[in-house]
Structure 1
């Protein structure tokens, strides 16, 4: 095994955790949680995010460090255009996640603590919209990485 293979493994592992977690939240947890009243639904989301978001930070670190390592190893000029596209989309996704972490996530936690279900619903909706955007961008990024898409 080479260092490159280890970096590729860590990169794919990070992507799997992050994009897979978003897919699970969007496609499975969200429809199931919609059946619950706000007083149960919002604490469930807060508890789920409190476990998932630290995993996302770890995934972000793995993706960024391994991606930069592989890009530097190859050289920016020699790297496939798809890698440059992944760098851009990954940076956007990281920015969107940071906007969730420092914005609606803080508001959701506060709302759940004081049982302000209306404010919590607004915060959760903002998270939902950003996760939907990041999930779509993550799928596009995986397509660019694996299919090339004419790059």
Structure 2
């Protein structure tokens, strides 16, 4: 009986640890996108001309996105680790929604990080400001999309409880 109790406690502790990692990673990702979209973007546009503003974004993304790559991996890994013991069939619909939306958000992030950021950097290095501005605008649109999807993930999480 004691052995079974210890196994249950360890499973609960593992689940709690996974949930903590999951929530911390989600907070970092969503909070960072919110800050960039609603605070940094308008402030940079207000006080900096494109030749100064666009390199600021390259520098910001170059620091922020590697951290978010770790957060995305933690989110997907911890989410899957909490889902698999329950099983896809037994999981509430909200979990399925979170998992699906999380995969879409991760794909958007990968596109932004692996394709758009290098383009933005290259255009800035070449002082091709109109082209860089177009890439930055596409990044802005994708951040807005991921913010909206993130809100839907939170709604799904709440509905699954």
Alignment TM class, shorter chain as reference: over 0.9
State the alpha-carbon separation in 2 of the partners of residues 147 and 46 from structure 1: 37
State the alpha-carbon separation in 1 of the partners of residues 42 and 81 from structure 2: 39
Larger radius of gyration: 2
State the alpha-carbon separation in 2 of the partners of residues 134 and 50 from structure 1: 18
Structure 2 stretches of 5 or more lacking a match? 1-11
1:2-151 alignment runs, 5 A limit = 2-35=13-46, 36-148=48-160
State the alpha-carbon separation in 1 of the partners of residues 104 and 70 from structure 2: 17
Task: Compute the RMSD of aligned alpha carbons.
Answer: 1.4
Deviations 1:59-82 (A, max 9, x none): 111101100100012221211110
TM-score normalized with structure 1 length: 0.94
Moved over 6 A (4+): none
State the alpha-carbon separation in 1 of the partners of residues 85 and 18 from structure 2: 11
